[in-house]
Structure 1
Amino acid sequence: MSDSLLVEDATIDSYRDRFVARLSQTVPGRKEFVVGSASGCTLTSAEGREYLDMTSGIAVANVGHTHPDVVAAIIDQAQRYSHVNVYGRFVIPEQVEVVERITSVTAPGLDVAYLTSSGAESTEGALKLARKFTGRPKFVAFERSYHGRTLGALSVSWREEWRAPFEPLLAEVEFVPFGDLAAAAAAIDERTAAVIVEPIQGEGGIRIPTDDFLPGLRQLTTDAGALLIVDEVQGGMGRSGRWFSHQHWDVVPDIITMAKALGGGLPLGAIVSTAEIFATFVDPPLSHLTTMGGNPVACAAGIAAFDVMVRDSLVEASAQQGEYLRARMGEVQRDYPERIIDIRGRGLWCAFEVAGDGNLVARELQERGVLVGSVLNSAGTVRVTPPLIITKEQIDRFVAVLREVIETGIGIDVAEDAS
């Protein structure tokens, strides 16, 4: 508690007002609270109220907030150097170390990486890479997909209301239903540079396809001479109970995009592919560049976070604790089947679907000291993505509060049986 930003109420209100006045807003209104500190699976407001964090900052804090190993690595690296020319001139040892770790858990051949600062930046680079390597203009993406908000990433993200104000975007993008191999086969043609897919859809509501879907996409793209890009920005780094969610189906993609948890809490992303595919960025030289991607401090944090995951078997813990979490949520669903209509997930990438407004349910959970999240493309879905270090006792605490909220009926539309 002593590490929190504990300040007077008037100062807290001042921060909230100044935040709205000075930081460009894309969501209207004042924010819920002012952050004071975070540690492990707990976030503390400036007023000193503790919250159980079941969001991990949207699947970022996989090793927990302010993990001591990550903090120590950040301090050590910042004391030596925090930024130099990260591409084109010098060897940055921290970049080498983090990429060797990443590619140690990808499929053989996927052993070259381009480092970025965010998931959207990774998507942009992957789209450029696919177009340049294949010489083709078209992309196939999926309904309910989300790949970022920059222009290229937005072009392959599904929701029309966010794309329309910024059109024209990339000209040749075709969306097909997620999980529909026949529709994908009809869309993939000789003009297709790549199919981009989240193996498990994140903002679409933590939606898991049938077991034939990803292998089928792999075959379709291979037959068409197109590339398969898998978006592991949210699903990577152990979130699904495997290092990457596509590994549940033993599929080898051509390109992997990642970010979020990769940097241990700092901005770090990556595009992973083969040396052959990446060679196209050298002709002409400087076909792609970044100033901050692969920042040494972010790489040091990523190295420490990766090593913590290996040492503490957090990928395995994600799988085991995820089963426990869904089983416990299932107990609430069995008591209120008309209120919780579905529970989905792999590892600690989970969601429950309510017959109503997921945002209202999430808000009520927050009022009771638990942070969960909504998703962008599924109004009734509540996202549950705790740090991979979460304990069974913390899961039990979450489920107890969830039961209280579901019992109230807040945010639920369905009429209950008279019985």
Structure 2
Amino acid sequence: MYPTMSGVEIESYRDRFVRHLSQTVPGRKEFVVAEARGCTVTTADGRSYLDMTSGIGVANVGHCHPRVVEAIQAQAARYAHVNVYGRFVVPEQVELVERLTGAAGAGFDMAYLTSSGAESTECAMKLARKHTGRPKFVAFERAYHGRTLGALSVSWREEWRAPFEPLLDEVMFVPYDSLTAAAAAVDDRTAAVIVEPIQGEGGIRVPSDDFLPGLRELCDATGALLIVDEVQGGMGRSGRWFAHQHTDVRPDIITMAKAVGGGLPLGAVLASAELFATFVDPPLSHLTTMGGNPVACAAGIAAFDVIADGLLDRVVEAGEYLRTGLAALCDEFAGLLVDVRGRGLWCAIELSVDANPVVARMQQLGVLVGSVLNQSGTVRIMPPLVISDAEIDTFVGVLRTVLGEVAS
């Protein structure tokens, strides 16, 4: 692709971005985006990058999937926004929620639509507190559930929690994948246990097979609710609609966002009609202005249907192919690449060195990967679910080059 801006225009946008957009990471941004399609992001100076991040788990069906684009255009031509909660029936909301609850299975009658993962967490926490009348939450070390005050209260990293304290009073963090520690924490004051079925920002950590079933038993024994955070793991990322479906556990509440909207801001909280009835007494116990925006819902319907058309099987196949390539590198660079883990197209490699220089060097060579917030040696790999074997080969080849440079 040819450049879409001159060098002067590019530098102007980089300068103006820093000047006018509040950021929480210092410094100028690496490049100016011009276009994104499929698994490729193209910059304004004409360079192309293989995107192995999906915009941090958002572009599960790829950037600008034709069916998603068509749905957005058609819906925007009809109406972009109306009162989305409380007064009108929005057909796009109905169509989307029927799909999501159907994928979640028995016991999930309803959904509350939101705009983001943090908003979904807040809704789920309010629902759990109000339904149980209890004040306490149990969460896990290395957990991440968002940065709003409630979500931050159940997110683990003290560095980001401390400046905003006091947060919610009764939150206990216990080691992930430890039923013994969880059993000591969950009691008759616990409103809910909130858990990622596979930890995302904790390093793409897959727990033992008995972990989620054990949490379900603890919650049943104490009357606490089980909230499963599927913000990163939902919409087919692990090879199932939801990552917790690799077990036979049925949570009480599921939170979603990221890939739900096919690239537009959209999230959801799934639960039973009985649980959601608690928001009706008193009426308007929870509200949203933009959650369930019709254009975002139309995009979400299209994205869901793309995944439903056989893409889950492809995720399993492509994930095995990807991990086979990564395992070969693990043998080749023993001592540097120390672990490969994940499910479906949600993988991580663990390095014996800081991951950030590796991430930066791969970007220089045309591949976008990411680190994670709560584990310094982890490289996050979560490409669009439509990635081809040839694109996986390209990624593995670039990673081999960069690891070779580090090793030497």
**2:170 is equivalent to residue 172 of structure 1:** yes
The residue aligned with 2:367 is 370
* CA–CA distance in structure 1, aligned partners of residues 109 and 100 of structure 2: 8
The match for 2:234 is 236
The answer to whether 1:47 aligns with 2:45 is: yes
> What SS does the aligned partner of 2:93 have?
helix
Which residue pairs with 1:406 in the alignment?
403
Map 1:253-292 to 2 at 5 A.
253-292=251-290
Deviation at 1:352, TM superposition (A): 0.2
Give secondary structure in 2 for the equivalent of 1:105: helix
The equivalent of 1:302 in structure 2 is 300
1:196 aligns to 2:190 (yes or no): no
1:110 alignment partner in structure 2:
108
**Aligned mate of 2:121, from 120, 123, 131:** 123
RMSD: 0.9
Q: Distance in 2 between matches of 1:388 and 1:88?
A: 35
Within 2, Cα distance between the matches of 1:316 and 1:165?
Answer: 44
Q: Does 1:77 align with 2:75?
A: yes
Q: 1:329 aligns with which of 315, 326, 332?
A: 326
The answer to whether the aligner puts 1:392 opposite 2:389 as a matched pair is yes
User: Hey, what's the Cα distance between the residues in 2 that align with 1:167 and 1:336?
Assistant: 43
How far has the Cα of 1:319 moved from its partner?
1.1
What CA deviation, in whole Å up to 9, does each residue of 1:254-294 have, x standing for no partner?
A: 00000000000000000000000000000000000000000
Whole-angstrom distance in 2 between the partners of 1:403 and 1:396: 10
What is the distance in 2 between the residues matched to 1:182 and 1:107? 29
**What's the CA shift string for 1:3-62, capped at 9, x where partnerless?**
xx7100011000000000000010000111000100000000110100000000001100
Residue identity matched to 1:341: V
Query: 2:146 is matched with which residue?
Result: 148
Give, in whole Å, the separation in 2 of the partners of 1:308 and 1:232.
19
Work out the percentage of aligned pairs sharing the same amino acid: 70
Could you say what secondary structure the match of 1:66 adopts? coil
1:357 partnered with 2:354: yes
Structure 1 position 318 matched with structure 2 position 315: yes
The whole-number CA distance in structure 1 between the counterparts of 2:58 and 2:203 is: 17
- The equivalent residue for 2:65 is 67
TM-score normalised by L of structure 2: 0.99
Q: Which ranges of 4 or more aligned residues in structure 1 deviate by more than 2 Å?
A: none
Measure, in 2, the Cα distance between the counterparts of 1:47 and 1:108: 50
Deviation at 1:345, TM superposition (A): 0.5
Deviations 1:64-121 (A, max 9, x none): 0000110010000001000000000000000000000101111201120000000000
Three-state SS of the structure 1 residue aligned to 2:302 is helix
Matched, 1:89 2:87: yes
Query: Any idea what the Cα deviations from partners look like across 1:341-377, whole Å, max 9, x if unmatched?
Result: 0001000000001111111111110000000000000
Q: Which runs of no fewer than 5 residues in structure 2 stay unpaired?
A: none
- Where does structure 1 lack aligned partners over 5 or more consecutive residues? none
Question: 1:214: Cα distance to partner?
Answer: 0.4
Aligned to 1:38: 36
Aligned match of 2:157: 159
Following the alignment from structure 1 to structure 2, what is the Cα–Cα distance between the partners of residues 226 and 243? Answer: 25
Shift of 1:316: 1.3
Q: Distance in 2 between matches of 1:160 and 1:63?
A: 34
How far did residue 309 of structure 1 move?
Answer: 0.9
State how far apart, in whole Å, the 1-side matches of 2:109 and 2:312 are.
Answer: 20
> 2 CA distance for matches of 1:289 and 1:25?
28
Show the 5 A alignment for 1:212-223. 212-223=210-221
Separation in 1, partners of 2:140, 2:317: 30
Deviation, 1:305, is: 0.4
Correspondence 1:383 to 2:380:
yes
Question: Could you report, residue by residue, the CA deviation over 1:126-183 in whole angstroms, capped at 9, with x for unpaired residues?
Answer: 0000000000000000000000000000000000010000001111000000000010
Moved more, 269-278 or 107-116: 107-116
What SS is found at the alignment partner of 2:143? coil
CA distance in 2, matches of 1:113, 1:364: 42
